[in-house]
């Protein structure tokens, strides 16, 4: 007991590295809040299609290899078409840009794939990262967004396209094809407001 207390004190003082015990989840989602997975695909004409679904805590906290992960429960839903089961666009796989809300490729995640002939600047503040559902007697339930993707890049995998993370002030970090960072520290990544994705 004394050893555990001393370790806790030293850990909080930053005197040595500390790791959470297995089962201890340190994340960006509080009690009653929901992790999300969002798929954003731009077709050849530049039209954007967005799919989103909820992720349970176990799935969100498990490092993943970027790719299509079909939910066997059929709980995927297309934005604007609640409860409609779908299969994610199979092209949003390892070749796409995947962004995660936490380090180590965990947490909520969002994928961008630009199939258009034009480059795209994407505003991360338009995509929901974490949401919650509140239910009220007699009026039903309501799902609201609690936080967006701007300034919340915890890790990323670039896939087969280069591109850039851009802060609101214009500072940019240009990432290479297949670049992946599990613990990024560059402020243009961690505080990114926009993502630039080149044309095909």
- Parallel/antiparallel/unpaired status of strands 77-78 and 97-102: unpaired
Query: Which residue from 58, 67, 10 is spatially nearest to 35, judged by alpha carbons?
Result: 58
Task: Please list the pLDDT of the chain residue by residue as tens digits (200 residues).
Answer: 333 333 333 333 333 333 333 233 344 555 567 889 999 988 888 899 898 888 888 888 887 655 444 444 334 444 433 333 334 444 577 888 999 999 999 999 999 988 888 888 999 999 999 888 888 888 888 888 889 999 999 999 998 888 999 999 999 999 999 999 999 999 999 999 999 988 76
β-strand partners of 21: none
Longest dimension (CA), the chain: 64
Contact indicator for 188, 165 with CB cutoff of 8 Å: yes
Domain locations in the chain?
A: 29-197
Whole-angstrom distance, CA of residue 148 vs CA of residue 18? 29
Query: Which residue from 131, 137, 101 is spatially nearest to 32, judged by alpha carbons?
Result: 131
pTM of the entire predicted model? 0.73
Query: Which residue from 48, 95, 122, 127 is spatially nearest to 200, judged by alpha carbons?
Result: 95
């Amino acid at each position: 007991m004394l050893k555990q207390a001393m370790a806790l004190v030293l850990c909080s003082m930053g005197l040595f590295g500390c790791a959470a015990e297995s089962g201890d989840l340190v994340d960006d989602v509080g009690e009653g809040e929901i992790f999300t997975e969002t798929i954003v695909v731009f077709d050849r004409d530049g039209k954007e299609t967005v799919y989103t679904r909820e992720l349970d805590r176990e799935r969100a906290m498990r490092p993943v290899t970027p790719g299509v992960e079909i939910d066997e429960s059929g709980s995927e839903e297309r934005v604007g078409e609640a409860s409609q089961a779908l299969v994610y666009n199979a092209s949003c796989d390892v070749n796409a840009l995947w962004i995660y809300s936490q380090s180590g490729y965990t947490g909520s995640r969002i994928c961008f794939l630009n199939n258009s002939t034009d480059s795209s600047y994407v505003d991360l503040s338009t995509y929901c990262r974490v949401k919650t559902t509140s239910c009220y007697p007699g009026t039903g339930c309501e799902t609201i967004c609690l936080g967006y993707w701007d300034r919340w890049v915890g890790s990323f995998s670039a896939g087969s396209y280069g591109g850039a993370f851009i802060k609101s002030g214009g500072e940019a970090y240009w990432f290479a094809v297949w670049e992946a960072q599990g613990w990024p520290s560059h402020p243009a990544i961690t505080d990114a407001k926009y993502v630039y994705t080149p044309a095909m």
